[in-house]
Amino acid sequence: MISTNWGSATDVGLIRDHNEDSFLAQFPVFLVADGMGGRAAGEVASGLTSIRFRQLASSDQVTVDEVSRALVEANERVLDQSSQVDQLEGMGTTAVGLVHVLDRSQELWLIFNVGDSRLYRWFEGSLEQVTTDHTEVQELVELGSITSAEAKVHPLRHVITRAIGTDDSVEPDIWLLPPVPGERFLLCSDGLTGEVSDVDIAEVLSGEADPTTAATRLVERAVAAGGHDNVTVVVVDVFADDQDDLEDTSPGRPRPDVPSTISVPFERTAVEPATADELIAEVPQSKPPDRITPVTGGNGPTMIDVVPASTGGTEQGPAVAVPELLPDVSPGTDPDA
């Protein structure tokens, strides 16, 4: 059995006037969602998704089917609110997740993504981007039409091809990986990767032992580089319950270079979606701080109640962070897009 320690940080950036990112950091579920569509609709979409996955975090053992169902129901909740509330029409959200699951008594990491929020794995001095962006430019890269370097400045780089809440069905990519003591995961919105290179990300992940400090430093770099978008980062460290096991595997044992991708059926199910009023009631209404918010349950202002760093799976409180919803929502496209 593995144990985890994690830290998180988020910031509105220097250009946008509110934060549409939401995240969840509570073992066994870690999630970053980047909302889009309308002045306040983006944070509603990402918030609905985070709240649905918080239900999984209350379980000691999560299955692959439960993650699949959570994705389906998050998609339906966003679609339902988008169709019922004029101000929320057209909203959607990306989502990237890391979930500890049990599959036939085997503990695994289930990784999923929809959109361009990313998950990276740092292990034995090497940084690997596990997820693949669902964007127009990524499709062009895969076709060989443009290079990865050209994709970073391409005018279509922000055009998402998959999202939660934009279609009747959700199409995530999903991987199952065995946990390895010594590995470190990074989940982030594109507010980080749009400003900070993979080389700089690797430098921070290798240089900061504390996950909260690492998350905060990465957000600081994104803001210092321009802060053109909201930026949210969750860093998760993995170690063995048994210290002897940790020493035997340090700095970790190798795993296959290519993660196994699985196909999970996603069928629409009848669910009772949360209403916008219920969502707003769940979101703290305090004004977000002006600068970076490291979320650790420690000192200083925070946008949520408590998100503790944890060792050995001993959590201490609620752990969903949803930016404040603006009361004066108005229909139309996102003015910051």
Q: Is the distance from CB of 36 to CB of 29 less than 8 angstroms?
A: no
* Structural domain includes residue 142: no
Quote the pLDDT of residue 322.
Answer: 54
Alpha carbons within 13 angstroms on the beta-carbon side of residue 175 total 22
* Measured distance CA(285)–CA(303) in Å, rounded: 9
In CATH, what number is assigned to the domain containing residue 237?
3.60.40.10
Residue 152 falls within a domain, yes or no? no
Structure confidence at residue 301 (pLDDT): 25
Structurally, how many domains does the chain consist of? 1
Q: Which residues of 252-275 are buried (b: 16+ CB within 10 A; e: fewer)?
A: beeeeeebeeeebebeeeeeebbe
Q: Where are the beta strands (DSSP E) in the chain?
A: 2-11, 21-26, 29-36, 92-93, 95-103, 106-114, 118-123, 126-129, 173-177, 184-188, 231-240, 260-261, 293-295, 320-321
Domain contains 159:
no
Alpha-carbon gap, residue 298 to 94, rounded angstroms: 28
Burial 54-78 (b: 16+ CB within 10 A, else e): bebbeeeebbbebbbbbbbbbbbbb
Instruction: Tell me whether residue 331 is in a domain.
Output: no
Strand partners, 97: 31, 112
Residue 21 lies inside a defined structural domain of this protein: yes
pLDDT value of position 60: 79
Could you read off the pLDDT tens digit of each residue along the chain, which spans 337 residues? 789 999 999 999 999 988 999 999 999 999 999 999 766 689 999 999 999 999 999 887 899 999 999 999 999 999 999 999 888 988 999 999 999 998 888 899 999 999 999 999 999 999 999 998 988 666 566 666 666 666 666 566 667 899 999 999 998 999 999 999 999 999 999 999 999 999 999 999 999 999 999 999 999 999 999 999 999 999 999 998 764 443 333 333 333 333 333 333 333 232 333 444 444 344 333 333 344 545 443 222 222 222 223 323 323 333 456 554 433 333 333 334 4
Residue 267 forms part of a structural domain: yes
The pTM (predicted TM-score) of the whole model is: 0.76
Cα 233 to Cα 294: distance, rounded to the nearest angstrom: 9
| Predicted local confidence at residue 146, as pLDDT | 63
Strand positions, DSSP E, 230-282 = 231-240, 260-261
Domain that holds residue 39: 2-131+165-321
Q: Tell me the residue type at 251.
A: P
Classify residue 29: in a domain, yes or no.
Answer: yes
Three-class HEC string of 151-195 = HCCCCCCCCECCCECCCCCCCCEEEEECCCCCCEEEEECHHHHCC
Q: Is residue 335 assigned to a domain?
A: no
